[in-house]
């Protein structure tokens, strides 16, 4: 099993290219199910989760061709030979539930296993199901599967008022509504850049959508969607993660393709902590200002607030801050599983429910640590970059779900990091 070995203490200098967004690509890929014409995605990330979605779509009868070393995906769903998303594939990744809406909209029925994924909270799919019921779908949960069927004439437009913001449910309903009869209004919709990117792609395919990026999205259903070519938006979570690398080690790094609008709330917190972020012609440049990192308070929130997917990485930075920082996790319960591993390295962290208090220390020491989920895994690597001695991160299959070639990208900036197989 692969491990990542990090020897800390080196300031980073150089540039890191930022890949296309995993969470956007995993949403865009099922959009192929809405049309019998090809959908081509450029700037696709090369990740295990993308391969899992590839396998799922192929199991439904889609054809997926990868070009340019996996950065270009051409997907065709002209022949949907199977309408069952099997447990053996779906259990690997929560985003698999996103095939439900498109299958129901185009084929009129679907059988989709309840999903699996990272153990960072329950994250139920009830909002997806209630939303589809508002469009006329008949649903039954049986033997671990969602059995769904549209009315005889297909899904019908309706009003879906989410009781709380859900990115996945917004995406599923947005895709399903494109082929529903009449108008669908999504209220309290998610505003994430991945939602905006999906809407832009669907519009290229012929969908009629207004309001993406706001809390109210209106979709006028059409009879059919066509093929399109669409670039996957920059991954704001990978961007934020690599912004923290020079922040925690010292030095300066330019993030190629970075956009301030994708990480505005995050960049504001970095500024509070004493980290300089400036826009360049090619992206964003990050460096530590004079002196030690300052303690700050962070509260996760739906976009445009501070991303929950950057909370673990920010905790790694604040382990070295002067003073005591507070991190309030408001999106997912049970998302501080990285804290005990950071404590093994010498961090001072006190967790009570959804709040973690981090008292900064001047130095931490490398140690054997274990990744518990995707974002936790990279937070341990960040801590290892600044710690004294050697840090060995095991269970990095979590890491490979969301970050491509971490050791190459950080190593190119001077980090001592390698992947070993034991």
41 φ/ψ angles, rounded to the nearest 5 degrees:
-110, 125
To the question of whether residue 293 is assigned a binding role by annotation, the answer is no
Q: Are strands 39-42 and 72-76 parallel, antiparallel or unpaired?
A: antiparallel
Q: Are 277 and 267 in contact (CB under 8 A)?
A: yes
To the question of whether residue 71 is assigned a binding role by annotation, the answer is no
Q: What is the spatial distance between Cα 146 and Cα 339, in angstroms, rounded to a whole number?
A: 35
413 is catalytic: no
Q: Are strands 324-328 and 297-299 parallel, antiparallel or unpaired?
A: parallel
To the question of whether residue 126 is assigned a binding role by annotation, the answer is yes
To the question of whether residue 127 is assigned a binding role by annotation, the answer is yes
To the question of whether residue 236 is assigned a binding role by annotation, the answer is no
Q: Please, what's the b/e burial string for 209-227 (b: 16 or more CB within 10 A of its CB; e: otherwise)?
A: beebbeeebbbebeeebeb
Sign of CA dihedral 283, 304, 24, 200: negative
Give the three-class secondary structure for 355: strand
To the question of whether residue 400 is assigned a binding role by annotation, the answer is no
Give the three-class secondary structure for 2: strand
Residue matched to tokens 């700050």? 296
Q: Tell me the Cα Rg of the chain.
A: 22
To the question of whether residue 290 is assigned a binding role by annotation, the answer is no
To the question of whether residue 223 is assigned a binding role by annotation, the answer is no
Please identify which of the residues 25, 118, 319, 413 carries the catalytic annotation.
118
To the question of whether residue 235 is assigned a binding role by annotation, the answer is no
Question: Taking Cα atoms as reference points, which of 187, 225, 183, 184 lies closest to residue 203?
Answer: 225
To the question of whether residue 331 is assigned a binding role by annotation, the answer is yes
In the annotated binding site for UDP-N-acetyl-alpha-D-glucosamine, the residues are 94, 123-127, 309, 331
**Enzyme catalytic residues:** 118
In the annotated binding site for phosphoenolpyruvate, the residues are 22-23
In the annotated binding site, the residues are 22-23, 94, 123-127, 309, 331
């Amino acid at each position: 099993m692969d491990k990542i070995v990090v020897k800390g203490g080196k300031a980073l200098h150089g540039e890191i290219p930022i890949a296309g967004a995993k969470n956007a690509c995993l949403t865009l890929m099922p959009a192929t199910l809405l049309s019998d014409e090809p959908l081509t995605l450029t700037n696709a990330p090369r990740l295990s989760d993308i391969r899992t979605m590839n396998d799922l779509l192929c199991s439904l009868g889609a054809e997926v061709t990868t070009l340019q070393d996996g950065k270009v995906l051409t997907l065709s769903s002209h022949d949907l030979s199977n309408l069952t998303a099997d447990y053996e594939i779906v259990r690997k990744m929560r985003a698999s539930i996103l095939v439900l809406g498109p299958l129901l909209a185009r084929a009129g029925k679907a059988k989709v296993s309840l999903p699996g994924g990272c153990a960072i909270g329950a994250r139920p799919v009830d909002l997806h199901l209630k939303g589809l019921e508002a469009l006329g779908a008949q649903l039954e949960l049986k033997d671990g599967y969602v059995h769904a069927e549209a009315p005889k004439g297909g899904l019908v437009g309706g009003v879906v008022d989410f009781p709380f913001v859900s990115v996945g449910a917004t995406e599923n309903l947005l895709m399903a509504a494109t082929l529903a009869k009449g108008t669908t209004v999504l209220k309290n919709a998610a505003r994430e850049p991945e939602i905006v990117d999906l809407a832009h792609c669907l519009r290229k395919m012929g969908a009629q959508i207004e309001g993406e990026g706001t809390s109210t999205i209106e979709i006028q259903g059409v009879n059919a969607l066509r093929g399109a070519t669409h670039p996957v938006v920059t991954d704001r979570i990978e961007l934020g993660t690599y912004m923290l690398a020079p922040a925690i080690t010292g030095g300066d790094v330019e993030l190629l393709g970075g956009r301030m609008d994708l990480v505005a709330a995050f960049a504001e917190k970095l500024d509070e902590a004493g980290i300089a972020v400036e826009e360049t012609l090619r992206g964003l440049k990050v460096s530590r200002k004079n002196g030690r990192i300052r303690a700050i308070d962070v509260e996760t929130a739906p976009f445009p607030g501070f991303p929950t997917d950057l909370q673990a990485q920010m905790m790694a930075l604040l382990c070295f801050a002067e003073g005591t920082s507070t991190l309030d996790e408001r999106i997912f319960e049970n998302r501080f599983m990285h804290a005990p591993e950071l404590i093994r390295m010498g961090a001072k962290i006190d967790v009570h429910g959804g709040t973690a208090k981090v008292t900064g220390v001047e130095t931490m020491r490398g140690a054997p640590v274990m990744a518990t989920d995707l974002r936790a895994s990279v937070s341990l690597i960040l801590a290892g970059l600044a710690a004294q001695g050697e840090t060995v991160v095991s269970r990095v299959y979590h890491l490979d779900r969301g970050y491509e070639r971490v050791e190459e990208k950080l190593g190119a900036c001077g980090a001592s990091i390698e992947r070993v197989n034991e």
